Amino acid sequence: MAADSQQVHLAIASRLENIELVQIAVEASLGQLALSEDTSHWIGIAVREAVANAIKHGNRNDPDKQVEVDFGIEDDTVVVRVADQGEGFDPKSLPDPLSPDNLLRPNGRGIFFMRKFMDDIEYTFRPEGGTVVTLRKKLSPSSKAEGGDQEEEEQG
């Protein structure tokens, strides 16, 4: 797998319906990696959550502000960067959605899902403004679709 064979860059206006566009592009890229359906699904959910947060909390649904999504493979790791033009926030200030007090809250699970479905999640705050969330998922053999490595094994 070439390191940059699945590089995708998208810039969308901050409208929730554009999350579907991102998902289609991400699924198309993931589709080339012969991942298991489960792995693709959960990566897709994590990306949706990142983009939804960027639109809703970062850019506060202002369609004049963009969300940029960069998707690629680096060292057998899916790397997704989602950047908004918002004011930033303190990731440590987020309540635990599993706490009994929060279990019945209707919101507050987006970042929790990203952490659950990816191996690593990192926030950086650009000096010029805006937040970048970077999601990483290492592609282990169990991430691959069943039989996905068959041909390679037979040839090798």
Partner 1 sequence: MKISARHREGITILEPKGKITIGVGDVALREAVHEALDAGAKKILINLTNVSTVDSSGIGEMVSAYTTVTHRGGQLKLVGLPPKVQDILQITQLITVFDVFDSEDEAVDSFEG
Q: Which helix (H) or strand (E) holds 64?
A: none
Q: What are phi and psi of 118, to 5 degrees?
A: -115, 165
> What would the x/- binding string for partner 1 be over residues 98 to 127, using CB under 8 A?
x----xxxxx-xx-xx--x-----------
Between 112 and 125, CB nearer to partner 1: 112
Between 73 and 143, CB nearer to partner 1: 143
- Tell me the window of 2-10, 24-32, 40-48, 125-133 that interacts with partner 1 (CB under 8 A): 40-48
- Tell me the window of 1-9, 72-80, 87-95, 97-105 that interacts with partner 1 (CB under 8 A): 97-105
**Interface pick for partner 1 out of 6, 12, 14, 19 (rule CB under 8 A):** 19
Contacts (CB under 8 A) with partner 1, residues 47-76: 48-49, 52, 56
Pair type for strands 8-13 and 131-138: unpaired
What does the alpha-carbon distance between residue 37 and residue 73 come to, in Å, rounded to a whole number? Answer: 18
CB 139 within 8 Å of CB 118 = no
Taking alpha carbons only, the member of 145, 25, 6, 26 closest to residue 76 is 6
Size of the site for partner 1 (CB under 8 A): 23
What type of residue sits at position 52? A
Q: In which region does residue 79 sit, left (phi positive, over 0), alpha (psi from -120 to 50) or beta (all else)?
A: beta
Between 1 and 16, CB nearer to partner 1: 16
Neighbour order of strands in the sheet with 120-125? 8-13, 66-74, 77-83, 131-138, 120-125
Q: Does 27 bind partner 1 (CB under 8 A)?
A: no
Binding site for partner 1 (CB under 8 A): 16-17, 19, 38, 41, 44-45, 48-49, 52, 56, 97-98, 103-107, 109-110, 112-113, 116
